[in-house]
Structure 1
């Protein structure tokens, strides 16, 4: 007699997302055995308690985990299962990176186009600059270049820039060797991230350009290839040139400001700048954190999205950060007080409604 609490192989297949033929195969492999097999008809039946295992198996196979590994994941302890899944994903990512580099070399050979030397420069310095501006990239459907870093090489300097439209980060690197050719392109941000580990460990790297990509030539390490993104990069230079005059300038400890932002973490962060201090506020409490600062210009309060302001401050180089404000609705400029080659522009947001705020109570960090 068939247990009435069991379901047919067809019902179980529909609920688990597997096909009936796949369930028969997994039964033969010892991964999911039927709870009951009718001795007369040979029909297979499965229990409700087997459904989770079947769904996990389907998910494991969808990410390409081999049968033997899937069996170990399903039968092992949670820590062991997680380790096996992580190992598989790491291998997939490594294979994908290797395949991308090999594909780039094949495409170069097929087109017969040689790469052109752009510039040679310090690997760690270039890696740091790329890493700093990468935080300003975003995945924006229809605007691929916002997910990349724009490179401009000319006149003895390389400029790297990225923007998500709410934040713009740009850094200028002076090269110790002449730039071989003037060159500008936007490189895929994910490809650049995959190059950073080796780039940091290369004393001197070469940037070479092709029609469709950028090579990071790394002596004694695997070369890195980055795809180029199509479409015009935003005209950030015009934006920087057209910004209104600075009305308020504040210099404050980077570490202290970051600590205050972490303590006041919220969707919206307000900076009230006046006299010799910056008061960090949010809409969640009446308390503001008062930070000693060197301030010049008019008093102002500017509100930012936390996701815009915090990365802009954390990427700043040096002990003190310099914040240039142009009113509550104009772009703010953030840069190091003593290393001016990294500049971040952060767009403010609308101040919260008056009823959301009360007079701040200030305390010192």
Structure 2
């Protein structure tokens, strides 16, 4: 007999998915302990669980899953074959529909594009304290993408408008935003994407003293710190509108002691995501929950609807980038992004996308 945890690890289904399929009557445990409710699975159910995991990844509807498993052990496999072919035909129709809709969206995008001057082709000069510029880069650099298929995310966006500079980075799974105050030259808003290597070179010039000048001329950017300079070409892409992406639903807020939470995350229980992350490896997850007393706990499972699962390494990076002993964790719905905010400003924060454990 296998416990539900052992079955999850060996079958590719999460514990929550196994519980769901038990409740739906698709894969019912061979035995449930009447005292503690623990589920136990028989040896013959391992093959069924592996089959269920494959069909689940293929997106087969629940009603069909139930029939496939019911007919799997039968000598007459005609029904199973017909269900598989029906689902494949459905996927092909859906793909055709998706291609048609995306083609329409591309056409709309072609009409939307305008030859007018955009913020990323503007010219601007911005003077800022070196320590503020350094803090802004430190707060966001960790979130820059390394995915070669998304070159527009492979750097740090510098958004200059008036007396403010926003630094932004995202790899789709997380986003970091930081604001630095300085003095602009009155030019219109300018946006540039500084490639990650150039952003690192800029950071190396920054000390805790004095001010630096950032100069943008079209697709060229230069940071001058005294007699030293870091300059180069910007990425020739448009960055997504981060202002839309940071509008999060209201939720619970918890003030956390960063060293204590970091230790809890590093030593606490870890779940393995079913889906692979940006590196091609299934990421390790930490399940967080805000208690009634406002404390944040690292949970062993996601039984509670208020718990949120996030990439463990991404969370540790965000806590380190916050550079404070205390930070605010902001939770919305389990499917909404989680924000990590500083206590002294609302302008510098990180966002982590939640991971569905039953996906």
TM-score grouping bracket, smaller chain normalisation: 0.5 to 0.7
Number of the residue aligned with 2:164: 157
How well do the aligned residues superpose, as a CA RMSD in angstroms? 2.4
Is 1:333 aligned to residue 339 of structure 2?
yes
Q: 1:128 to 1:232 in 2, by over 3 A?
A: same
Deviations 1:134-164 (A, max 9, x none): 1001111232121111111112111110001
Deviations 1:150-204 (A, max 9, x none): 11111211111000101110011121x3444231111111111022122226621
Larger Rg: 1
Number of the residue aligned with 1:206: 213
Is 1:303 aligned to residue 303 of structure 2?
no
TM-score between both structures, scaled by the size of structure 2? 0.57
Q: Which has the higher contact order (CA 8 A, sep 6+)?
A: 2
Tell me the CA shift for residue 282 of structure 1: 4.8
Number of the residue aligned with 1:256: 260
Judge conservation of contact 2:123–2:190 (CA < 8 Å) in 1.
no
C-alpha separation in 1, matches of 2:180 and 2:224: 18
C-alpha separation in 2, matches of 1:116 and 1:229: 15
C-alpha separation in 1, matches of 2:131 and 2:344: 20
Q: 1:161 to 1:203 in 2, by over 3 A?
A: same
Deviations 1:34-81 (A, max 9, x none): xxxxxxxxxxxxxxxxxxxxxxxxxxxxxxxxxxxxxxxxxxxxxxxx
C-alpha separation in 1, matches of 2:232 and 2:300: 40
Is 1:324 aligned to residue 330 of structure 2?
yes
Number of the residue aligned with 1:237: 243
Number of the residue aligned with 1:345: 351
C-alpha separation in 1, matches of 2:343 and 2:131: 22
C-alpha separation in 1, matches of 2:202 and 2:300: 38
Judge conservation of contact 1:269–1:281 (CA < 8 Å) in 2.
yes
Deviations 1:209-266 (A, max 9, x none): 122221001213x21013211221112211223x32x221111111211121122274
Judge conservation of contact 2:287–2:307 (CA < 8 Å) in 1.
yes
3-state SS of 1:127 partner: helix
- Among 279, 285, 292, the alignment partner of 2:297 is 279
Q: 1:179 to 1:166 in 2, by over 3 A?
A: farther
3-state SS of 1:158 partner: strand
Q: 1:265 to 1:157 in 2, by over 3 A?
A: farther
Tell me the CA shift for residue 331 of structure 1: 0.7
Deviations 1:91-142 (A, max 9, x none): xxxxxxxxxxxxxxxxxxxxxxxx9551111112202211220100111123
1:96-175 aligned at under 5 Å gives the runs: 117-175=124-182
Tell me the CA shift for residue 271 of structure 1: 0.5
3-state SS of 1:133 partner: helix
Judge conservation of contact 1:248–1:300 (CA < 8 Å) in 2.
no
C-alpha separation in 2, matches of 1:326 and 1:235: 21
3-state SS of 1:340 partner: coil
C-alpha separation in 2, matches of 1:251 and 1:201: 28
3-state SS of 2:206 partner: helix
**Corresponding residue pairs, total:** 222
Tell me the CA shift for residue 307 of structure 1: 2.4
Number of the residue aligned with 1:216: 223
C-alpha separation in 2, matches of 1:117 and 1:164: 27
Q: 1:282 to 1:234 in 2, by over 3 A?
A: farther
Q: 1:247 to 1:201 in 2, by over 3 A?
A: closer
C-alpha separation in 2, matches of 1:314 and 1:299: 28
C-alpha separation in 2, matches of 1:316 and 1:201: 18
Runs (5+) with no aligned partner, structure 1 = 1-114, 284-297, 354-365
